[in-house]
Amino acid sequence: MEKTITKSQIKQAAQEAYEATKDIKGGLNAHYIPYLANINPDLFGLSVTLTDGTCFNFGDTEYKFGIESVSKVPTAILAMIQHTPAGVLKQIGADATGLPFNSIFAILLENDHPSTPLVNAGAISACSMVAPQGDSEDKWKAITENITALCGSAPELIDELYESETATNFNNRAISWLLKNYNRIYDDVDMSLDLYTRQCSLGITSSQLAVMGATIANGGLNPVTQKQVFDPDISPKITTMIASVGFYQHTGDWLYTSGIPAKTGVGGGVMGVMPGLFGIASFAPPLDDAGNSVKAQAAIKYFMQKLGLGIFTGDKITIVD
């Protein structure tokens, strides 16, 4: 069906979604990373960026929270830019695990592949693929410059979070060395894990994440800066990965009920991509049992349902003024 939606309908749906879900309780802050355990659980923001660059923001949309696993998306994109989507498929994979983000079992089940760059194993592997090889500072520069280009503004390292994660990332150390054993780490192991830990500790806002989502939805052209960040053929590849594993073991339920591919992080962020139309992001610290923000899920679902949207509806949507 052909459908036309106005920008004011979108703005109103976002405002309503924010108001209707802001008092939702439930979930717990990530407890295994001390810094995250202590963040104010009532923070909440909802941001939408359309592919023409229009932005709508409600609530705490300028608060810098830990990007955590949402950072797996930009670094997967960077690995695709540098090594092609086929190269990432060969060296990491593109399979959903159906298991928790930090699963060691998933590595064993997938015949020693890290599965996908959107779980911890594949993300550490993706950090190891980032060029230039062997140079931690230049690799870090490539990672942060790519995030800056996708968001149109720079993220900021939260030192306390980085220290907190580095001091407690024992499971990720085990994953890294297991992958090394299977020849799936393509640079120094400790350096690759450190880059992953550092990228997870970047502070980002929901308004920045909505722009990143819109850049992906817009074939790699950042609609705010008008800069082409990556080749259009990467968009369907990264969106496929987001759709298949973005909520880990709850990904099927999420896509079934919300209709939008989205990626979560244990900092409470969720970034959704509606191809051709918009990016959406929400942030609220309390998480469900899979590490996905409870309130951010509710807000994005409300928004999608209010507008009757979903990637599999078959509708041809046009957004007008």
Note whether 194 binds ligand GLN by CB under 6 A.
Answer: no
Rg (CA), the chain: 18
What is the DSSP pairing of strand 156-157 with strand 2-6?
unpaired
What tokens were used for 182?
């299977």
Query: Least distance in Å: CB of 136 to ligand GLN?
Result: 18
* Near ligand GLN by CB under 6 A: residue from 94, 266, 284, 304: 266
**Alpha-helix residue ranges (DSSP H) falling in the chain:** 7-21, 34-37, 72-91, 105-109, 120-129, 136-151, 159-166, 170-181, 189-200, 206-217, 234-245, 251-258, 294-307
Neighbours of 304 (CB within 10 A): 22
229-to-22, 220, 250, 293 alpha-carbon distances in Å: 34, 5, 30, 28
End-to-end CA distance of the chain: 20
Note whether 202 binds ligand GLN by CB under 6 A.
Answer: no
Are the beta carbons of 143 and 75 closer than 8 angstroms? yes
* Near ligand GLN by CB under 6 A: residue from 47, 91, 97, 120: 120
Query: Least distance in Å: CB of 216 to ligand GLN?
Result: 18
Q: Tell me how far apart the alpha carbons of residues 295 and 287 are, in angstroms, rounded to a whole number.
A: 8
Q: How many residues does the chain have?
A: 321
* Near ligand GLN by CB under 6 A: residue from 29, 57, 69, 192: 69
The residue among 68 and 194 lying less far from ligand GLN, judged by its C-beta, is 68
The residue among 19 and 32 lying less far from ligand GLN, judged by its C-beta, is 32
Q: Tell me how far apart the alpha carbons of residues 219 and 269 are, in angstroms, rounded to a whole number.
A: 22
Note whether 68 binds ligand GLN by CB under 6 A.
Answer: yes
Are the beta carbons of 67 and 204 closer than 8 angstroms? yes
Note whether 165 binds ligand GLN by CB under 6 A.
Answer: yes
Are the beta carbons of 285 and 3 closer than 8 angstroms? no
* Near ligand GLN by CB under 6 A: residue from 88, 151, 200, 296: 200
Note whether 172 binds ligand GLN by CB under 6 A.
Answer: yes
The residue among 219 and 268 lying less far from ligand GLN, judged by its C-beta, is 268
* Near ligand GLN by CB under 6 A: residue from 91, 102, 164, 244: 102
Note whether 271 binds ligand GLN by CB under 6 A.
Answer: no
Note whether 291 binds ligand GLN by CB under 6 A.
Answer: yes
Residue 157's nearest CA partner among 167, 149, 147, 168 is 147
Query: Least distance in Å: CB of 102 to ligand GLN?
Result: 5
Note whether 192 binds ligand GLN by CB under 6 A.
Answer: no
Query: Least distance in Å: CB of 166 to ligand GLN?
Result: 10
Binding mask 24-63 for ligand GLN (x = CB under 6 A): ----------------------------------------
The residue among 170 and 312 lying less far from ligand GLN, judged by its C-beta, is 170
Contact positions vs ligand GLN (CB under 6 A) = 68-69, 101-102, 120, 165, 172, 200, 265-266, 291
